[in-house]
């Protein structure tokens, strides 16, 4: 079965810097990959989706890349702010039906002022 690895459990960076989070998967390349934000005690919130035929996707200060050769997605937050502090989850579909979205364990990002 598909496994998702988010390499860093926690990442601390200075405000204003770019945060880069990594997501690797182990088996077949999914048709698409998603990134979510989760705050403590709250449900995940969808941020971005990137399809396998897209190399890069941007939304405001967020950028996602998808490299099917490396089986990896990178998630960047530029000009980071303390309000960006949260856990970021990588998610992808498992199986052919696209009705099972599975999550990585997440990276807890802390932005210090």
Partner 1 sequence: EPEVTQTPSHQVTQMGQEVILRCVPISNHLYFYWYRQILGQKVEFLVSFYNNEISEKSEIFDDQFSVERPDGSNFTLKIRSTKLEDSAMYFCASSEFIGSGSLRGYFGPGTRLTVT
Q: Which spans of this chain sit near partner 1 (rule: CB under 8 A)?
A: 31-32, 34, 36, 38, 41-46, 49, 51, 89, 91, 93-95, 97-106
- 38 forms beta bridges with 87
Q: In angstroms, give the least distance from the CB of 103 to partner 1.
A: 4
Nearer to partner 1, 40 or 113 (CB): 40
* CA–CA gap between residue 11 and residue 36 (Å, rounded): 16
Q: In angstroms, give the least distance from the CB of 16 to partner 1.
A: 29
Q: In angstroms, give the least distance from the CB of 55 to partner 1.
A: 16
Please report where in the chains the tokens 């998808």 appear, as a residue: 66
Asked if residues 18 and 106 have their Cβ atoms less than 8 Å apart, the reply is no
Task: Note the Cα 60 to chain centre separation in Å.
Answer: 15
């Amino acid at each position: 079965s598909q496994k998702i690895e988010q390499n860093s459990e926690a990442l601390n960076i200075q405000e204003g810097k770019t945060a880069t989070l990594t997501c690797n998967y182990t088996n077949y390349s999914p048709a698409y990959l998603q990134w979510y934000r989760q705050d403590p005690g709250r449900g995940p919130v969808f941020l971005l989706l990137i399809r396998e035929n897209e190399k890069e996707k941007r939304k405001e200060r967020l950028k996602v890349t998808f490299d099917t050769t490396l089986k990896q997605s990178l998630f960047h937050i530029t000009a980071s702010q303390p309000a960006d502090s949260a856990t970021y989850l990588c998610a992808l579909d498992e199986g052919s039906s696209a009705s099972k979205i599975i999550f990585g364990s997440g990276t807890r990002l802390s932005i210090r002022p």
